[in-house]
Amino acid sequence: MDVPAVPAKVDPDALTAALDGRWAELKRDVRTQMRAEEFRGTVGLDAEAHRRQVLDQLRKLAATDRPALGFDSAYGGLDDVGGAVVSFEMLGYGDLSLMVKAGVQWGLFGGAVQLLGTAPHHEKYLRRIMNLDLLGCFAMTEHGHGSDVQHLHTTATYDPPTREFVVHSPDPGATKEFIGNAARDGQLAVVFAQLVTGGQSRGVHAFLVPIRDESGSAAPGVTIADCGAKAGLNGVDNGRLTFDQVRVPRDALLNRFADVAVDGTYSSAIESDGRRFFTMLGTLIRGRVSVGGSAGCATQRALTLAVRYGDQRRQFQRPDGEEVVVLDYLGHQRKLLPALAKTYALHFAQEELVAALHDLAPDAPEEAQRELESRAAGLKAVNTWHATSAIQTAREACGGSGYLSSNLLADLKADTDVFTTFEGDNTVLLQLVAKGLLTQYKEHFADLSPLATARFVAEQLVDTVMEHSAARRFLERLTESDDATVLFDREWQQRLFEDREEHVLSSVANRLRRGSSDLFEVFNSVQDHVLLAGRVHVDRLVLDAFARAVGACADPDAQMLLTRLCDLYALSTIEADRAWFLEHGRLTVGRSKAVTAAVNALCGELRPHARTLVDGFAVPEQFLAAPMLAG
Amino acid sequence: MDVPAVPAKVDPDALTAALDGRWAELKRDVRTQMRAEEFRGTVGLDAEAHRRQVLDQLRKLAATDRPALGFDSAYGGLDDVGGAVVSFEMLGYGDLSLMVKAGVQWGLFGGAVQLLGTAPHHEKYLRRIMNLDLLGCFAMTEHGHGSDVQHLHTTATYDPPTREFVVHSPDPGATKEFIGNAARDGQLAVVFAQLVTGGQSRGVHAFLVPIRDESGSAAPGVTIADCGAKAGLNGVDNGRLTFDQVRVPRDALLNRFADVAVDGTYSSAIESDGRRFFTMLGTLIRGRVSVGGSAGCATQRALTLAVRYGDQRRQFQRPDGEEVVVLDYLGHQRKLLPALAKTYALHFAQEELVAALHDLAPDAPEEAQRELESRAAGLKAVNTWHATSAIQTAREACGGSGYLSSNLLADLKADTDVFTTFEGDNTVLLQLVAKGLLTQYKEHFADLSPLATARFVAEQLVDTVMEHSAARRFLERLTESDDATVLFDREWQQRLFEDREEHVLSSVANRLRRGSSDLFEVFNSVQDHVLLAGRVHVDRLVLDAFARAVGACADPDAQMLLTRLCDLYALSTIEADRAWFLEHGRLTVGRSKAVTAAVNALCGELRPHARTLVDGFAVPEQFLAAPMLAG
């Protein structure tokens, strides 16, 4: 490789600075607090003790000003949306039950009150939510409708004589399911229900419904059940809620986007029920962003554990009798180093997402809001699937030691496992991303159903996706003779990703247009292709973000190391999908094989820096105190 | 596709008959017993209660004649090795802690006494082991040496004056680690230690060492620690053992392969220490075979749960307002159906392996023994990695419901997770397979170290691996015009697998021969290629076994269904590795894309039979009683 070598020693603090970016100071504060003994992990606690500990830790967080970050300064908040998300994400280094509980309280519950409610709700509740005087739930998911929340069954029927809404679960499928904070601690719930007034259903709206009285008993008409043991996250008190004709006052409706007058007259600035609901949902993307980010932090922690172990564990002898450090094996490097490169890549893409969320002006055009929702959905899916896969790999890379709870990977695996299917099922989310691309954000696309995807495409597909795009023309200028260097050319890598995205998208669009009249069958026959379109779009976003972060790195040595790591991300991603590139004439056989050789070479080149690279994450040492690392 | 359609209804019992094969009667007996309430699962038990329940269940098993299957009829056994393995495997449908505990007691501990000991050991112990009067451990793995057991540190030094062996742990790395049955119940351990006599080390041998006295306290000089909480398998009492100059009589040596005379003279029919140790290990492959098989049963259970759920769960509406059954989505079929096909494929390969183990004559040539060891290693690796991946997929396919412990997938995931790294780390095992192929079993290959691999190859590589093999010539006769039918031609599929195996193997051999003089570097630079050679070899074995099983299926309707399922296994395997086939000119671009289209078509064709296919596994209903399936 005709590229400058990485210096023998790179300062991990320089990597930390590059990783921490815009909210570096806040991140330092969180790390400092998380180092306290009271934020210790959970090995050995039973569910009740674990829940108690998490609530205690939540109160410790409430004593800082970080819960205020995400809220309006008019009510004691700090108007720092990005900081709020960062502070949730960082909890992903520690007990993920705390991350989820904090996310439910301040992100989902508090966020819904702020973003779906109006001044009277803010005045009455926001301070109490921030300081934990009021614990709450976000009751959207139902037993019968998890992904397809637009069709949930709970009803809230307005009763003009009493000026009340009657909240009701009409069937077992309407039971609110997996509701965090419900089984033990929650007092008030934001309940999503079909609003009915004047005998007419108006779609899903959010209502504030007390679920417990002062004594902690279930409120009249409310039945609360504990979801019981879960694979992980047992410090979160997930519960089921059912409502039997529960009456709440008219102002229980969070009425930013729609209202019901005293006489029952319905009004909303958004005419379509579906569009209104997805506008409401769109305001709530912080939760999805936070889950993706905390999955990233958990992955960083797992890889730190596995790389440190692999860097000291020895097994089998060399000819001279010395035992080989396992991370010196190519096979072991292949397991951990591409995963590490992808973790960096996703981190930088996440940083950009958080910044974009933070900087989104309240009066931004709707397309910008849609683009942000799409990016949040795609990155959440890719980040959480990567967490599932990388944490699994990390466990296996530590052998039997990785299986002992004391070595921390067991809980990491179990706790993060649900991330791929909560806050939006990843498959549904990737579909959403593809749909956004297909309709080029010209229409509101957030309706999650496949049917809507097919309909939009059939009716509104725009023709901006072209073969022989700029990316394609660039790639065609290259010849076989460029092989020696082109793999490490960032522009080549980025154009290759861009070209793949454009081609996959245009070909899926063509297949959808050619389809028969049965919209479901049309969509379903190309679903694998649609999902691919979503994935390769995210791949492109991620590589571009990594490339920008390398460019922005202030320390020259760290920048050289990140350059090679970005190569490893790009080339291992190309390698994994090289069948596609071969099938579509984007890689020759020779260059495809060269990609594999380059990944191997990069593994060898980066191996001496593996410890530095994980130390750059600066995971608080308390969460790395695994006995297997004691020697 | 110009192939006969599968009948609309296929009898699952006919599939069960095809799956159950040679030990069908025994399997029926096990299923009958496992249906009893006392073999219920473990949701909600703490570790101590779980351990107690597993021991109770173990006693229930001891009351049957199945523990006798694996033992010599001279001591009350039934001389049915295959039946013994099958009876362990089948426990994989239920609580995997019981499977492991039974495997430790009768497979590893009892097996070592039988296979490494001689008549006096058999006379003294076998009956008591079968009836659980004597609970034991298999103490091989050490803290410092898990995969590289040849270099473990525990010593057993013969002391002629007292005619005793002194068993000792000389350093912390010598601590016996993850030893099943040690923390709570075991009385006697088979301890693997470096035998030292006359001042000379003779390599690893096995010794019977009491670890607890009559009262249950640790025996003098023995320290027992509990490994504590694990990700799963918490019904197994894994422990750590250290020995401080523990004295055992001379006949504690399991002396089938080597002996020490009263005066300390060492004798063995096998000269090389390494070769002797690996001959000993080779006799103990039943454990590895059982783990692979029980991973298969656990996978069958997980896929049964996920397919049944996917066959009733509805989400999102069709244009007519009807909600779509999620298994009707191509994306969902893509997750579950290729995994189901592979599960069938691995089942049939496992059946053949068990039969080969059963039928191996005591005086079989060493090459046959080596081939069996290699097959056991390879299938264990592929079976357990498939379990990890398929159970993960099953969990995700059930969304949040799959995350609740009550729905059974959480424990399945956690319990099977360690299978990929115990009873031989999968990466090490695949390397072993490749080494066997490279040396064509001409030399004893079971030494696990990469160094030995490189050395064998450099010194002894045989030239039987040829390009333009029979498989290659067959494939070259086909032209593009055969595209429409060739993908579904079993011979084409099998020859393609065979040709890939031969090419990967010959090319890795060439790379090893061309390497420099540093054996470690030579080996390490091609380790990814070596692992590929192991994997594609197993792929070929598995497809061949599936094809034979289809041929042997007695029911014509079931046979047609299995024919299509075998196509799905073959084509989804080709699809996953199509980059290799494209890079090596084995698939044209057109045919490669046709493979993807064929997998989609097969998913659609098999979807109506998905429920039948999982019902064919005949998993006892008690282990499928997930609330999420109640409606």
**Nearest-CA residue of chain B relative to A142?**
B400
Task: Supply the angle between the helices A490-514 and A470-477 in degrees, to the nearest 10.
Answer: 130
* Residue A479 reports pLDDT greater than 90: no
| pLDDT (mean) for A113-126 | 97
* B592: nearest CB among A404, A520, A583: A583
**Nearest-CA residue of chain B relative to A231?**
B410
Query: What is the C-alpha separation between A548 and A559, in angstroms, rounded?
Result: 11
Percent of chain A with pLDDT over 90: 82
Check CB contact of A396 with chain B, cutoff 8 Å: yes
CB contact under 8 A, B420 and A519: no
CB contact under 8 A, A420 and B396: yes
**Nearest-CA residue of chain A relative to B581?**
A579
DSSP A219: P
Where does residue B593 rank: exposed (0-12), middle (13-18), buried (19+ CB within 10 A)? middle
Helix (H, G, I), strand (E, B) or coil at B184: coil
Of A260, A142, A618, A318, the C-alpha closest to B455 is A318
**Nearest-CA residue of chain B relative to A517?**
B319
Summarised one tens digit per residue, pLDDT across range A582-607 is 999 999 999 999 999 999 999 999 99
Of A305, A582, A503, the C-alpha closest to A511 is A503
Check CB contact of B514 with chain A, cutoff 8 Å: no
Query: What is the C-alpha separation between B400 and A230, in angstroms, rounded?
Result: 10
Of A325, A323, A327, A324, the C-alpha closest to A307 is A327
Q: Around Cβ A164, how many Cβ atoms within 10 Å?
A: 17
Check CB contact of B511 with chain A, cutoff 8 Å: no
Query: What is the C-alpha separation between B130 and B334, in angstroms, rounded?
Result: 45
Q: Which of residues 295-334 of B touch A (CB under 8 A)?
A: 315-319, 323-324, 328-331, 334
Check CB contact of B227 with chain A, cutoff 8 Å: yes
The amino acid occupying position A566 is: C
State the nearest Cα–Cα gap between B280 and chain A, in angstroms: 19
> Residue B446: what pLDDT?
45
Sole residue written with tokens 């694998």: A528
Check CB contact of B148 with chain A, cutoff 8 Å: yes
Q: Are B575 and B301 in contact (CB under 8 A)?
A: no
Check CB contact of B168 with chain A, cutoff 8 Å: no
Best mutation target, A153, A316, A326, A600, to test chain B (most B CBs within 10 A): A316
Percent of chain A with pLDDT over 70: 94
CB contact under 8 A, B413 and A418: no
Best mutation target, A417, A423, A577, A592, to test chain B (most B CBs within 10 A): A417
Task: Supply the angle between the helices B12-20 and B556-576 in degrees, to the nearest 10.
Answer: 70
> Residue B583: what pLDDT?
97
Check CB contact of A42 with chain B, cutoff 8 Å: no
DSSP B252: G
> Residue A39: what pLDDT?
86
State the nearest Cα–Cα gap between A418 and chain B, in angstroms: 6
Check CB contact of B605 with chain A, cutoff 8 Å: no
State the nearest Cα–Cα gap between B298 and chain A, in angstroms: 17
> Residue A441: what pLDDT?
40
DSSP E strand stretches across A284-361 = 314-317, 323-325
Q: Output the DSSP codes for B376-426.
A: HHHHHHHHHHHHHHHHHHHHHHTHHHHHBGGGSHHHHHHHHGGGGTSSS-H
State the nearest Cα–Cα gap between A627 and chain B, in angstroms: 12
Chain length of chain A? 631
Helix (H, G, I), strand (E, B) or coil at B259: strand
Q: Which two tokens stand for residue B385?
A: 């990695």
Query: What is the C-alpha separation between A282 and B495, in angstroms, rounded?
Result: 53
Check CB contact of B524 with chain A, cutoff 8 Å: yes
CB contact under 8 A, B528 and A334: yes
Alpha carbon A72 to chain centroid, angstroms: 24
Summarised one tens digit per residue, pLDDT across range A311-370 is 999 999 988 889 999 999 999 999 999 999 999 999 999 999 999 999 999 889 988 998
Strands B176-179 and B155-159: unpaired
Check CB contact of A388 with chain B, cutoff 8 Å: yes
Check CB contact of A589 with chain B, cutoff 8 Å: yes
**In chain B, which stretches have pLDDT less than 50?**
1, 441-448, 460-466
Query: What is the C-alpha separation between A244 and A266, in angstroms, rounded?
Result: 24
State the nearest Cα–Cα gap between A63 and chain B, in angstroms: 32
Mean pLDDT of chain A: 93
Half-sphere exposure of A585 (CA within 13 A, CB side): 7
* B229: nearest CB among A43, A147, A413: A43
Strands A176-179 and A239-243: antiparallel
Sole residue written with tokens 């050490």: B142
What residues of A are in contact with residue B183 (Cβ under 8 Å)? Answer: none
Query: What is the C-alpha separation between B192 and A567, in angstroms, rounded?
Result: 46
State the nearest Cα–Cα gap between A524 and chain B, in angstroms: 6
Query: What is the C-alpha separation between A308 and A311, in angstroms, rounded?
Result: 5
What residues of B are in contact with residue A593 (Cβ under 8 Å)? Answer: 583
Query: What is the C-alpha separation between A21 and A31, in angstroms, rounded?
Result: 15
What residues of B are in contact with residue A420 (Cβ under 8 Å)? Answer: 396
Check CB contact of B578 with chain A, cutoff 8 Å: yes
Banded pLDDT at A51 (limits 50, 70, 90): very high
Q: Are A56 and A48 in contact (CB under 8 A)?
A: no
- Torsion, Cα of A435, A438, A444, A449 (10° steps): -30
Q: Are A593 and A572 in contact (CB under 8 A)?
A: no
Among A73-82, A243-252, A513-522, B109-118, the range scoring the smallest mean pLDDT is A513-522
> Residue B448: what pLDDT?
46
Query: What is the C-alpha separation between A456 and A454, in angstroms, rounded?
Result: 5
Query: What is the C-alpha separation between B294 and B92, in angstroms, rounded?
Result: 4
State the nearest Cα–Cα gap between A530 and chain B, in angstroms: 10
Query: What is the C-alpha separation between A430 and A445, in angstroms, rounded?
Result: 13
* A–B CB contacts, 8 A cutoff, strictly below: 202
Alpha carbon B97 to chain centroid, angstroms: 16
What residues of A are in contact with residue B43 (Cβ under 8 Å)? Answer: 229
What residues of A are in contact with residue B449 (Cβ under 8 Å)? Answer: 316-317
Check CB contact of A413 with chain B, cutoff 8 Å: yes
Q: Are B27 and B90 in contact (CB under 8 A)?
A: yes
State the nearest Cα–Cα gap between B432 and chain A, in angstroms: 13
ipTM greater than cut 0.85 = yes
What residues of B are in contact with residue A44 (Cβ under 8 Å)? Answer: 228-229
Best mutation target, B396, B426, B517, to test chain A (most A CBs within 10 A): B396
> Residue A465: what pLDDT?
44
> Residue B442: what pLDDT?
42
> Residue B479: what pLDDT?
66
Q: Are B551 and B352 in contact (CB under 8 A)?
A: no
Q: Which of residues 443-472 of A touch B (CB under 8 A)?
A: 448-451
Is the Cα torsion angle B358, B361, B366, B368 positive or negative in sign? negative
What spatial distance separates the first Cα and last Cα of chain A, rounded to whole Å? Answer: 37
Q: Output the DSSP codes for A515-568.
A: S-S-HHHHHHHTHHHHHHHHHHHHHHHHHHHHHHHHHH-SSHHHHHHHHHHHHH
Check CB contact of A45 with chain B, cutoff 8 Å: no
For A471, residues 6+ apart whose C-beta sits below 8 A from its C-beta are A495, A496, A498, A499, A502
What residues of A are in contact with residue B602 (Cβ under 8 Å)? Answer: none
State the nearest Cα–Cα gap between B202 and chain A, in angstroms: 18
Banded pLDDT at A445 (limits 50, 70, 90): very low
Alpha helices in B439-489 (DSSP H): 450-460, 470-477, 483-486
* Residue A455 reports pLDDT greater than 80: no
Check CB contact of B342 with chain A, cutoff 8 Å: no
Of B146, B218, B126, B227, the C-alpha closest to B180 is B227
State the nearest Cα–Cα gap between A306 and chain B, in angstroms: 14
CB contact under 8 A, B520 and A425: no
Strands B246-249 and B259-260: unpaired
For B112, residues 6+ apart whose C-beta sits below 8 A from its C-beta are B138, B190, B206, B254, B284
* A227: nearest CB among B145, B404, B409: B404
